[in-house]
Amino acid sequence: MSRPTRFLLSLPAALVILFLASCALPAVKPTTLIPPFIDAREAVAALTDSGSTINDIRGTVTLQTFDENGTSINSVTGYMAFRYPDRVRFTYIGPFGIVLFEALVNETTTILFLPQQLTAYKGKTDTIQRGPFSPKLMGIPFRKPAGPIFVIEHDGPESILYSISSQADRYSLVEKIIFDRSTMRPTIREDYENGRARYRITYLTYKVIEGISVPTDIAIEDMASGTRMAITMRDCKVNTGITDEVFDTAVQPPYVEKPLDSFVLPDY
């Protein structure tokens, strides 16, 4: 499978990460009242409440992927619509305003539309196993930290929350979240499996929109392969009332429906 193909197959998971995961950590209390050291319970409560004021979000998104050597693989810009908790649609616009590609995720269903070929590749989201970012990432965002055991430590203005699971003969780290205590915004979120980091999501910049802190520049890294994705969002709007029709999973004529796992990106 070509690198551009793998890149586009990773779009739905990456988009969900951006707009579910950390769309916000609105401060749970006024900044002036946040103590120098908050305990793990307070941190978990803040993360659990994150994004609770977001119903939907839309904007212009640029996604760029890099290989393990830092070489750019591909870059696309398009329009994104997201609705809580698990619906997202990305439209890739080519020259002269022509729609070249659309990726739709509605709960567990993913559809990849190729308008120029009048073809729609439809299937379960977990069908997409290839690409630099596993669809398992869709389970990480917009939820309270994994656990159920939590440990917190402080390093200057930042705190680190460790989520730990208890197994038969040992304890295992499942997630690490670094956040700024003065703003209650996450800066890094890492996912672990069997003691090894799988993915690192770094929130580089935020913009306050309608009183909500939205990350506008994000870096996502696959720790095993070293591949990275840079996500930039502009012209964001929140809670505009995006309807069900935007995420409709019915494939209508003249589109021909094919299995998702048979998707091949054509040469444009």
Residue 258 is encoded by which pair of tokens? Answer: 């094919």
**C-alpha to C-alpha distance for 259 and 109, rounded to whole angstroms:** 12
CA atoms within 13 A on the CB side of 188: 14
Let me know if residue 190 belongs to a domain.
no
Neighbour-count burial of 109, counting CB atoms closer than 10 A to its CB (0-12 exposed, 13-18 middle, 19+ buried): middle
- Structural domain count of the chain: 1
For residue range 38-94, list pLDDT tens digits in order: 888 888 887 777 656 778 889 998 888 888 888 888 888 899 888 877 788 889 888
- State CA 19 to chain mean position distance: 6
Let me know if residue 219 belongs to a domain.
yes
Residue that wins the pLDDT comparison between 137 and 107 = 107
Let me know if residue 149 belongs to a domain.
no
Q: Domain span at residue 251? A: 3-31+52-144+199-259
Let me know if residue 156 belongs to a domain.
no
Residue 185's beta-bridge partner residues? 180
Looking at residue 193, its pLDDT comes to 84
Residue that wins the pLDDT comparison between 129 and 241 = 241
Looking at residue 35, its pLDDT comes to 57
**What's the CATH number where 95 sits?**
2.50.20.10
Looking at residue 171, its pLDDT comes to 86
Let me know if residue 154 belongs to a domain.
no
Residue that wins the pLDDT comparison between 225 and 30 = 225
Let me know if residue 242 belongs to a domain.
yes
Let me know if residue 180 belongs to a domain.
no
Percent residues over pLDDT 90 in the chain: 22
Let me know if residue 60 belongs to a domain.
yes
Strand-pair category, 228-238 with 212-222: antiparallel
Indicate if the pLDDT at residue 24 is higher than 50: no
For residue range 181-239, list pLDDT tens digits in order: 888 888 899 988 888 898 898 989 988 888 888 888 988 888 888 888 888 989 989 88
